[in-house]
Amino acid sequence: MEKKAEGDFVEILKKTLVEIPEGKIEFLGPTEGSVSVIFIDGEILLVDSTWGAGNDELQRIYEWKTGNCVIKDLTAEEKRTLETKWQKPVILNAVKKETKATFSLEQPVKVQALLRNLERTSVDLDAFLAELQGKKYSGEFRSTTPLGPYQTLFYQGVPLLSSDRNNPPLREVRERMDLPGATLNFYLLGEELTHAFLSVLQGDKVWEGLSITMFHMDKMLDKLMDKNSTGHLCIHKENGDQLYCFFFQGIPLGVYDIEKHWSPVDIATIWDDAQHVDYYLSGKIESFLSKVVTVGSAKDFREFISSWNGLIEGIAKKLGKKPVGKSLQKSFGGMDVYALEGTTLQLADEGTQSVNAAVTVFRERVPGFLKEMEMIVGSHWLNGQLQEFRERNGDIIGKFALNEVLS
């Protein structure tokens, strides 16, 4: 039998392993070369390619993603090769044995639950958030509410992302914590584990649904660690449980059952009854931090707004107060966090949460305002004013991560 197929290589492989008792699939590369996979009873026993042999060669079909392939019956010679060199029970047992010996973890990161299934009414939210910010905790907040489950990832005391969006204002997170009937949990992870956990909430998929029989797991894990990657493996068990193995810059941090309050798991048991594995990487945490409001004082941002008002005064002298005031009203009018008087912008409230919200609004609204000014006065003059402003206020602009919006 010979059958041709075209499409997603991984899906073709999964379907073939289920529907055909034994055979060989030849995956054709996009430009040259191929990868051949021999299987019996849903188990991959031999992987060969134009470039070499071994389970590592199977990674190529994940990189190629789609294309053409040919499904064939095994020849008599191929069956003899399997009988003499690739006896399935021997290989699978050896893989499991080597995995337990090779992938070691001296001391998993201990996760502390600062809040665990606490009712909203039993928690002083203001005191808790003040401690979280003051001690720059990094970890996961999780709650069940009448509106559904809610998560927020904190890094160094500030929210990086939530179930709703990236870089949520602290006041928004507090509002979700304060919902009637909410049950609150906070798990103190530390900076490294928090960075790795980012791959669960918003990670970059490397592969998904990979059967544990497709690779020698020990070699695969060693390879992942050698790349100094940060992210996680999600191990799917036969009973539906999911275990998460986290690593930071190639160093294993621990294996946890996240749904059971980050309970640690014995690493020697992680492959028992495992079916398939997902692999995700964390993005650069700096890309989130650049958009996070540094928890500065109200005095710092008040000084910035004073300098900003000086810049606006210069623009108003050039264009007139009326068009500048009209554009400012369009951008900042009606905002709870600001009070606008003519062309002068002021903070409506100087509490920490309000300052965070004010910086977020400033970052969102200023580009549109400056674009309108550029259309009126021209880019050359305005860019000169902005350059002088950045030179005079570089430190505080950097502190509140406003470089991009003022460039």
What does the pLDDT profile of the chain (407 residues) look like in tens digits? 789 999 999 889 888 888 888 899 999 999 889 999 888 777 777 788 888 877 677 888 888 999 999 999 988 777 765 654 433 333 333 333 333 334 555 567 889 999 999 998 888 888 888 888 778 899 999 999 888 899 999 988 888 889 888 888 877 888 888 898 999 999 999 999 999 999 999 888 888 887 776 555 655 666 666 677 899 999 999 999 999 999 988 888 999 999 999 999 888 788 888 888 888 999 877 666 655 554 455 678 888 899 999 999 999 998 888 999 899 998 888 888 888 888 888 887 765 556 777 888 888 888 889 988 988 888 889 889 999 998 888 877 766 767 777 87
* Residues 243 and 280 placed together within one structural domain of the fold: yes
Tell me the whole-structure pTM to 2 decimals.
Answer: 0.53
What are the Cα distances from residue 94, in Å, to 21, 100, 101, 226, 352?
A: 23, 10, 11, 22, 58
The phi, psi pair for 109, rounded to 5°, reads -65, 130
Q: Is 272 within a domain?
A: yes
Q: Is 310 within a domain?
A: yes
Distance, CA of 151 to CA of 140 (rounded, Å): 7
Instruction: Return the structure tokens found at 310.
Output: 């000086």
Q: Is 100 within a domain?
A: no
* Residues 304 and 212 placed together within one structural domain of the fold: no
Sequence-distant (≥ 6) Cβ neighbours of residue 234 within 8 angstroms? 200, 242, 243, 244, 245, 277, 278, 279, 280
Helices (H), 236-347: 285-289, 298-319, 321-332
Instruction: Return the structure tokens found at 126.
Output: 């203001």
Is residue 104 helix, strand or coil? coil
Q: Is 226 within a domain?
A: yes
- The alpha carbon of 365 is separated from its chain's Cα centroid by a whole number of angstroms, namely 26
* Domain boundary residue, one of 233, 267, 287: 287
* Residues 11 and 54 placed together within one structural domain of the fold: yes
Distance, CA of 240 to CA of 235 (rounded, Å): 10
* Residues 206 and 234 placed together within one structural domain of the fold: yes
Distance, CA of 265 to CA of 233 (rounded, Å): 14
Is residue 225 helix, strand or coil? helix
* Residues 315 and 336 placed together within one structural domain of the fold: yes
* Residues 336 and 361 placed together within one structural domain of the fold: yes
Q: Are 70 and 3 in contact (CB under 8 A)?
A: yes
* Residues 81 and 161 placed together within one structural domain of the fold: no
Pairing of strands 34-40, 274-281: unpaired
* Residues 325 and 384 placed together within one structural domain of the fold: yes
* Residues 34 and 64 placed together within one structural domain of the fold: yes
List Cβ<8 Å contacts ≥24 apart for 123-127: 123/177, 123/184, 125/174, 125/177, 125/178
What is the helix, strand, coil percentage profile of the chain, to 5?
A: 45, 30, 25
* Residues 177 and 117 placed together within one structural domain of the fold: yes
Q: In what order do the strands lie in the sheet with 2-8?
A: 2-8, 66-72, 22-28, 34-40, 43-49
> Could you give the number of structural domains in the chain?
4
* Domain boundary residue, one of 152, 167, 188: 188
Q: Are 247 and 231 in contact (CB under 8 A)?
A: yes
Q: Is 119 within a domain?
A: yes
* Domain boundary residue, one of 259, 287, 315: 287
How many helices (H) and strands (E) would you count in the chain?
Answer: 14, 18
* Residues 308 and 395 placed together within one structural domain of the fold: yes
Q: What residue has token string 């264009």?
A: 319
Is residue 291 helix, strand or coil? coil
The whole domain housing 11 covers 2-86
Q: Is 102 within a domain?
A: no
What are the Cα distances from residue 85, in Å, to 46, 190, 301?
A: 10, 47, 71
* Residues 224 and 273 placed together within one structural domain of the fold: yes
Distance, CA of 55 to CA of 81 (rounded, Å): 16
Q: Is 99 within a domain?
A: no
